[in-house]
Copies of this chain bind each other. A is one copy, B any other.
């Protein structure tokens, strides 16, 4: 189980930046600045060569700090890493993020073993070495050493992301910011001397602000532990994983990258199925699936009702529903009658329900109100092509109201530029993720259905 050392990794009351620097080009400067920008607790820069940095008193070593130190971020040169970590142990530091590289990834396996012994001796918990570390948008812990103008931090949100690759993690965080995907916690664990994916999933399973867990994995050191932890946590929270190195060529590349024995695609897909992990096939799908899983309840079945003002998108939705193993819901006779009464004659009352090009908010509201009451509908896919003059911004309120009143899962689909994106972001804030193509939206619904089956099976 996770324990207090993991808690203080994400929510320390105090942090020592060991290897803090005055030089803006050094990681020790970037990371100190990160904490000064976002962290509310006490910050202790540690560097034996300077008296103060950016107005903060600097300590020669961690054990010279008088107050309690929950978390130490280690950014010192590899040569003095062991003695520095030992000193943190002496001080009683509870958890470590070890950014410093020059361990097993360069062949220095003995040195890494020694590091492991020191960490164990003092009962510390550690992320790293050779990693990007930890970001917590709520507590303000931020050991990401990429400049903020190159890597925007995502907004607070319900997704936590654990990545075996630092660079991929950094790119995903930055991308998440621009896609307005909100995140809670991010961990890149590098060589994984102590905490690895399974420990972190275990912790995130109990974390209140995490509603969905996303993973990037190349390989597993302990497959049994992964299965045990994921089987348990996936009952409580959805876990979505992107597995790299599934092909022969990719497996060799993974061996060279993280030293992972990647294992075949089939074996991994079997493992994921066994322990309730939802597998994705591309980086963007990590977002696409996590977003819907974090916001909406799992589907009770696979019957989707499609409401659209663009016929073409309706046809594509119908195609995707069949391709993805979902079903077009059949409207009840009562609903058909009500829809016929409420909608203009030229609207063909069937599913997908094409409200036609001049649909306004009232038409959406009327149709959704009837469909949301249908027991034969497990999920509503609302397609909004916002380019038309008849459709106003208030359609967002209408959809949100129906979603909140009816408690029926609602997914949106809308393609377009600024005007469209503005409205889609408004929907997303209300818990209704929007996807740019019907296929992506239907795949997201498929993930909700898959998670429904995972939850119910156990």
Contact = CB atoms under 8 A, between A and B. Distances in A.
A387 to B, nearest CB: 4
Nearest to A245: B315
Interface string A385-425: 11111000000000000000000000000111111110000
A167 B309 contact: yes
Contact of A165 (B175, B218, B310): B310
B315 A253 contact: yes
A348 interface: yes
Interface in A233-291: 244-250, 252-254, 256-258, 262, 281-284
Interface stretch (A37-45, A149-157, A360-368): A149-157
A216 interface: yes
A264 to B, nearest CB: 12
B322 A247 contact: yes
A310 B188 CA distance: 13
Contact of A150 (B171, B178, B245, B419): B419
A170 B309 CA distance: 12
B167 A420 contact: no
Interface centre among A246, A281, A309, A416 (most CB of B within 10 A): A416
Nearest to A177: B417
A312 interface: yes
A17 to B, nearest CB: 17
Contacts of A168: 310, 312-313, 316, 385
A309 B262 CA distance: 20
A4 interface: no
A346 interface: yes
Nearest to A386: B150
A30 B385 CA distance: 18
Nearest to A107: B346
A285 to B, nearest CB: 9
B418 A328 contact: no
A350 B415 contact: no
A387 B254 CA distance: 21
A283 to B, nearest CB: 4
Given A151-B417, A315-B218, A436 B175 contact: yes
A25 interface: yes
Interface centre among A25, A256, A257 (most CB of B within 10 A): A257
A89 to B, nearest CB: 28
Complex copy number for this chain: 2
Interface string A297-320: 000000000000111111111110
Interface string A105-147: 0100000000000000000000000000000000000000111
A376 interface: no
Contacts of A388: 146, 150, 167, 170
Given A354-B257, A357-B167, A416-B174, A436 B322 contact: no
Nearest to A164: B312
A433 interface: no
A146 B319 CA distance: 27
Given A175-B436, A178-B421, A437-B284, A387 B318 contact: no
A40 B323 CA distance: 47
Contact of A245 (B216, B247, B319, B389): B319
B170 A283 contact: no
A439 interface: yes
A256 B310 contact: no
A166 interface: yes
B352 A253 contact: yes
A321 interface: yes
A319 B284 contact: no
A421 B175 CA distance: 10
Contact of A312 (B30, B244, B352, B386): B244
A387 B146 contact: yes
Interface in A75-122: 106
A434 to B, nearest CB: 13
29 contacts: A106-B346, A151-B416, A151-B419, A165-B310, A167-B309, A167-B387, A167-B388, A171-B414, A171-B415, A174-B387, A174-B416, A174-B417, A175-B415, A175-B416, A175-B420, A178-B418, A218-B312, A218-B315, A247-B323, A250-B315, A250-B316, A253-B311, A253-B314, A254-B315, A257-B311, A257-B354, A282-B439, A283-B316, A283-B437
